[in-house]
Chains A and B, each alone.
Chain A
Amino acid sequence: MRSLTRPEEVTLTINNEPREVIIYPGETLLYTLRGDALGLTGAKPGCENGDCGACTVLIDNIPTKSCLMLTVEVEDHSITTVEGLKHAPIQEAFLSQSAFQCGYCTSGFLMVGHALSLQGAADQGRLVEWLRSNICRCTSYQEICDAVQSVVRSEVE
């Protein structure tokens, strides 16, 4: 039986690479990602209770708040962090729409936008529904919506 308190080694699939890390069973995915071993600090702690979305990563391409997930829960899943985006269209869209200012919430919004672009078509209602999971305090959201809109196929097409 697995220990509930002792550290153990697990293998995670992060950005398409197997990574072996030693974790505590009570560790959140956010904590593991940002730790010294992985150093993936693109996901940010903003509230650590799921309200703000700054820590959003993709689990099997579904946006997930990494502060609400234990690392042991995602052993057999594919994890994508902002560091795993390689010239994704959403990044260029955020640049051209100036969809960020301080940048702290940006990774989270990028992951939501990227995941939505991987889905089939999405109408305005769906886009709003997805983006409501995250908070930006600097922009007007119009910039972010425009950026995400530009990479998401609309239903009518």
Chain B
Amino acid sequence: MTIIGTSVRRKEASSKVTGRARYTNDMNVPGTWHALFVPARQAHAKIVGIHTADARKVAGVQTILTAGDLAPLLTGDVTEDRPPLAKDKVRYWGEPVALIVARDESAAQKAASLIKVRYRPLAVVNSIQDALKANAPLVHDNIGSYTVATPPASPRKHSNIADEANMIKGDPDRFLKKCSVRVKVQVSLPQIDHAAIEPRIAKAEILPDGRVLIQASTQSPFEVQKQVAKYFKLNPGQIIVQVPLVGGAFGGKAAIQLELLAYLASRAVGGHTVKLVNTREADMATSPVGMGMEAEVELGATQDGMIQAAQMRFYMDIGAYTDSAPRIARAIAAQCTGPYNIEHLHTDVFSVYTNHTYTTAFRGFGHMPMTFAVERAIDELAKALDQDPLRLREQNALAPGHLTPTKARLTRSNLGHLPLCIEQMRRVIRWNQAAVEPIDAHRVRATGVAAFWKTSSSPPNAISGAITLMNSDGSVNLNIGAVEFGPATKTTAAQILAEQLRIPIDQVFVHEDVNTAVDPEHWKTVASLSTYMVGRAVMDAADDMVRQLKSIAAAILRCSPDDLDYGGEKIFVRDDPTIALRYQDLALGYKYPEGDSIGGQIMGRGRFMIRHLNLLDQQTGHGRPGPAWTVGVQAVEVEYHRITHQYRILKAATVLDAGQVINPKAAAGQVMGGMNMGLGIASREAVHYDAQGQFLSNQFRSYRVMRVGEQAEQYLVEFVETPQVDSPFGARPLGEHGVLAIGAALANALSRAANIPLNVLPLTPEVIWRAKGGKAYGAL
């Protein structure tokens, strides 16, 4: 292997450092009209009336839509509960109430300021606790009437419970009671925002022949195609979705929202090209965020630290609409033990409606908050047992032959090797058995650890594809349906193709954009699955090309294809490589010296469909949620001030079983970036609502993400390489994983340093001070 395992530069690198990389909002057709939505300024209220007459008089305004102008429509990834424009009532602050189309931005803004919405406020469901109270106001009056478009989901009638997922294994009640050591941890995590720096955007145009062109910043172009077709009764083939480079996504651009509004806007003005772009404020408060969570985890273990049984309840603050919550709930249920073998288990996961901004996938697909809860409990167990927390994790680690909570059988290939990661982490972090070391009178140093595992929780029929076309010089164009939003997905695919065709990486050209009319279908660019799925399709396409090259070369060289080998951009006779044809001589068909020709363009078709997965059984939760798991361990070293509760993050480290690392620099960058995001989330990020449910943190000055100088002083990444045998070159997914346990590791470090369990995020000095009793300084 020559290209696999090398840090090739990402294909679009030079565009990105010259300002030439183009994103959706960088390519505007002159004459494009602007759409703008009017957001709700109540969290829960009946819409009494919407006054649009004054707004319609603004010069340049083309049309104004409200729910009353549209045929009844409910949308949703799983349960169809969300109208594109609020109908009858608003369920969150920021929900689109009216949609303006105008010739230009300023006319649209002026019109927006003139639209008056009259509301009759309703009692606000402002927390999970509010939602679960007896006689709680209902966010949705009649959930029983909703269609579950993509089962499973179990909405509970006349309640705020949008879904309940359960998992039972063994006899948890009996075994938990028998355990000599038990710990119980309750955690509370706020909603968080994806905060991709590129705000979401969608453009739509309807051509006279009925084709619909959508350009959007999305992770799911093929899903946009299907959903638009379904909701507006069109044929999927009519709908062409194009996605240029995307400026960060993190799961937030897997949800479909602006695309539907942009289509409606264009349709209302005769198909004219319309652009709808979020302001930062709308991107945070109107478009979906990441879920909040309250959870309770109880673990029981023997005196020597073998975990026997667990009981867990997770309540997710999914906000006002379901979106993908039931799928996230099942992902949480399926992996709820963390990477540990627990024979007896009972877990319930509730998706709870509130009058908060609705939520969608967030990097890790529920595994980040779930891991926080579980890893806090594991650390408390270590404390209760007075055991080395790394050793405790090591001795309970899942191993080949074990069954997952969903009773999927684990192998070395599908599981990887957590004990090896732990062993390596001891060296990387210079492990001191979690001892708290004093620095001076007030400051201490402490290290926390936490482990993770994750699988894809993808649908059992997820597909991918690759189409490769050879150019006259023997170079190859690669078309795939995966979107490039940062992780070097396209470059990884190019590396795999170059390796398989034995050509230099710069002989592979990838399209930066995705176009559903041209590129083969790829389920969605989510779940860190692109290397696996796209990679398999690319290998298939490469094999197809090699077969074609050999077949035509065999005819020309008068031998059997079996006598041929390839390399150095040539097909040659194995025992005499001087008898050879260059790829470029065959790329567009071969021309004999006499002038007659045979063949045609060399083009490869590659496809892949995920196998052996199934939906989890609704009663028992049993099933197989993904092709393989990625395991790893993370550590954070902090310096903590006992009086002010301020802290510095000295080191953050990850050791992850990556299988074969395809691009070491890109892989390390993914994991480092993930750690930084995870530490930001754990230390400062939170969506805040006031008592009326108003979204308060809709700017980067109120929703604080990490800035330079706040990151860990040192980020360390190492890989263990246990191959996943059915993945290209044995590579494992790693795109999301940097975030998964790093917040838990921070909380574990601070809990030791502050000598108090810290189970509430974000871990601001104030939160720690409150956990310590919230006493005035003089009382210390």
Q: Are A and B subunits of one complex?
A: yes
Residues of A within 8 A of B (CB): 34, 36, 40-49, 51-52, 54, 81-83, 85, 91, 94-95, 98, 100-107, 110, 128-129, 131-132, 134-145
CB-based contact B669/A44 at 8 Å: no
CB-based contact A140/B675 at 8 Å: yes
Q: How far is the CB of B308 from chain A (nearest CB, A)?
A: 38
C-alpha spacing A81/B19, complex, angstroms: 9
Given known A46-B199, A101-B673, A104-B23, contact A142–B701 (CB-CB < 8 A):
no
Q: How far is the CB of B98 from chain A (nearest CB, A)?
A: 22
Over the window 238-273 of chain B, the binary record of Cβ atoms lying under 8 Å from chain A Cβ atoms (1 yes, 0 no) is 000000011111100000000000000000000000
Chain A facing B: main interface SS: loop
Given known A91-B17, A94-B17, A101-B486, contact A51–B700 (CB-CB < 8 A):
yes
CB-based contact A131/B18 at 8 Å: no
CB-based contact B12/A103 at 8 Å: yes
Given contacts A41-B25, A49-B280, A135-B707, 18 further A-B contacts (CB under 8 A): A41-B22, A45-B25, A46-B197, A48-B280, A91-B17, A98-B665, A98-B669, A101-B486, A101-B487, A103-B486, A104-B23, A104-B197, A137-B195, A138-B248, A139-B672, A139-B673, A140-B675, A143-B672
CB-based contact B14/A95 at 8 Å: yes
Q: Which of B22-38 contact A (CB under 8 A)?
A: 22-23, 25-26, 28, 30
CB-based contact A135/B19 at 8 Å: no
Contacts of A140 in B (CB 8 A): 669, 672-673, 675-676, 711-712, 715
Over the window 1-27 of chain B, the binary record of Cβ atoms lying under 8 Å from chain A Cβ atoms (1 yes, 0 no) is 000000101101111111111110110
- From A49, A103, A141, name the one whose CB has the most chain B CB atoms within 10 angstroms: A103
Q: Which A-B residue pairs are the 10 nearest by beta carbons?
A: A42-B19, A104-B247, A103-B16, A82-B19, A51-B700, A102-B486, A101-B486, A140-B672, A41-B26, A131-B708
CB-based contact B676/A46 at 8 Å: no
Given known A128-B708, A135-B705, contact A45–B486 (CB-CB < 8 A):
no
Q: How far is the CB of B602 from chain A (nearest CB, A)?
A: 32
B64 on interface, CB distance cutoff 8 Å? no
Q: How far is the CB of B360 from chain A (nearest CB, A)?
A: 16
Given known A48-B280, A98-B669, contact A138–B486 (CB-CB < 8 A):
yes
- From B15, B198, B245, name the one whose CB has the most chain A CB atoms within 10 angstroms: B198
CB-based contact B246/A102 at 8 Å: yes
CB < 8 Å neighbour of B250 from A43, A131, A137:
A137
CB < 8 Å neighbour of A106 from B17, B676, B712:
B17
5 pairs, A vs B, C-beta closer than 8 Å: A101-B669, A102-B247, A102-B485, A141-B711, A142-B715
Q: How far is the CB of B283 from chain A (nearest CB, A)?
A: 9
B706 on interface, CB distance cutoff 8 Å? yes
Contacts of B247 in A (CB 8 A): 44, 102-105
Contacts of B199 in A (CB 8 A): 45-46
C-alpha spacing A41/B28, complex, angstroms: 11
C-alpha spacing A67/B240, complex, angstroms: 33
Contacts of B669 in A (CB 8 A): 98, 101, 139-140, 143
Contacts of A36 in B (CB 8 A): 28, 30
Q: Which of B464-488 contact A (CB under 8 A)?
A: 485-488
CB-based contact A52/B197 at 8 Å: yes
Given known A41-B26, A132-B707, contact A82–B18 (CB-CB < 8 A):
yes
CB-based contact B676/A141 at 8 Å: yes
Q: Which of B331-369 contact A (CB under 8 A)?
A: none
Contacts of A48 in B (CB 8 A): 279-280
C-alpha spacing A119/B431, complex, angstroms: 42
CB-based contact B487/A137 at 8 Å: no
CB-based contact B700/A132 at 8 Å: no
Given known A95-B9, A104-B23, A140-B673, contact A51–B699 (CB-CB < 8 A):
yes
Contacts of A134 in B (CB 8 A): 707-708
Contacts of A137 in B (CB 8 A): 195-197, 248, 250, 677, 705
C-alpha spacing A46/B670, complex, angstroms: 22
Q: How far is the CB of B735 from chain A (nearest CB, A)?
A: 10
Q: Which of B703-740 contact A (CB under 8 A)?
A: 705-709, 711-712, 714-715
Given known A46-B197, A141-B706, contact A135–B248 (CB-CB < 8 A):
no
Given known A48-B280, A85-B18, contact A95–B13 (CB-CB < 8 A):
yes
Contacts of B20 in A (CB 8 A): 42, 83
Contacts of A110 in B (CB 8 A): 17
Over the window 662-685 of chain B, the binary record of Cβ atoms lying under 8 Å from chain A Cβ atoms (1 yes, 0 no) is 000110011011011100000000
Which chain A residue lies CB-closest to B663? A98
Q: How far is the CB of B96 from chain A (nearest CB, A)?
A: 20
Which chain A residue lies CB-closest to B19? A42
C-alpha spacing A127/B189, complex, angstroms: 33
CB-based contact B197/A135 at 8 Å: yes
CB < 8 Å neighbour of B18 from A42, A49, A132, A136:
A42
C-alpha spacing A72/B359, complex, angstroms: 41
C-alpha spacing A100/B21, complex, angstroms: 12
C-alpha spacing A48/B26, complex, angstroms: 15
Contacts of A135 in B (CB 8 A): 195, 197, 700, 705, 707
C-alpha spacing A139/B248, complex, angstroms: 11
CB-based contact A102/B248 at 8 Å: yes
C-alpha spacing A69/B28, complex, angstroms: 23
Which chain B residue lies CB-closest to A130? B708
